[in-house]
A and B are shown apart, each in its own frame.
Chain A
Amino acid sequence: MNKKSKGTSVKVRRVIAYVVLILLSFLCLFWFYVLFINATRSNSELKMGFTALPSKHLWKNWINLVGGTLPVVRGLVNSLIVSSLNAILCTYFSTMTAYAIHAYRFKFRNVLYTFILMIMMIPNQVTALGFVQLMQKMNLMDNLLPLILPSIAAPVTFFYMKQYMDSVLSKSLIEAARMDGAGELMTFHRIVLPLMKPAIAVQAIFTFVSSWNNYFIPSLILHKDKIKTLPILIAQLRSADWLKFDMGQVYVMIAFSIFPVIIVYLFLSKYIVGGVMAGGVKE
């Protein structure tokens, strides 16, 4: 009796779960479906309202876009450069910083650690004003460096690395390496970095994505078309210009900045989702 009612309740709960999941999945995917359909339609077709089936103007819209005034391919290259370097620098140096706090006992260690945790709360935007002024003085406006170098000091990534390190890197392991006569740099590169690989992979992806999507600071630094990253070009779609009248082009441009990420994600999703989980467990 008891067992039976429990069985039905599980069944009911399972149905509810599926319904909610399907609904949420729909809410996640629907927009991209509409985006895809509309990217394949010409401006005059778009004027006639929405249809569920794609048309055949995708390639033509794309040609129009590339031949237009927005330097989209250039923007893609710029975005790739900034995001890749961000991911590499950020994870490497955050691991190094975490290792410094984790493995060594020195004066001010606790002070510095608390300090880094405190500055984790400072939003980027708060220092933007001084940042832009400084970049003007350093002659780094319209340059990609101000978007790349600051990633070396990333308190949030540091925090994640430190947490992860606490659980995987024991004192004895470091001691053992020292016994074998490995120098400190060598220990870091040969022992610590490989051990941190899962955490580095997760954080590399996150850093890459957040840099890929970053809009606020680049919009203050980059003004020349040649140097702009994709999010800024996207924002320009809204500024008044009759050249952007072709909605087919607008949709293709949005699709162009969204779909490559989705495709890469579908290949890596197992590792990404798993990585987020793995990171979460350690916290």
Chain B
Amino acid sequence: MDDDDRVFKALADPTRRHLLDRLHERDGRTLTELESELAMTRFGVMKHLRVLEDAGVVTTRRSGREKLHFLNPVPIRLIHDRWIDKYTERRVAALADLKQELEESA
């Protein structure tokens, strides 16, 4: 699996997207805090966090005895820059061509 595969896999699950939204709302949370907002066992939340960490979209820092989880948007940005930009550019170009064609035939 390459880096992009890991990010797509990490995002392809509603619970993991929910975890990212929770971190987007407030960053730097402990497992216990995140667990309290999900109807899921601690083990289940840990498993999902592991997938998010492997993909790099969650990064952790130690603060004293606590392990804090932070949303890291850089891998999502990389996918945006690598894929989304490229396709929207083409779509805009395709629409521009279509408009020109329709106007010419009208």
Task: State yes or no: do A and B come from one complex.
Answer: no
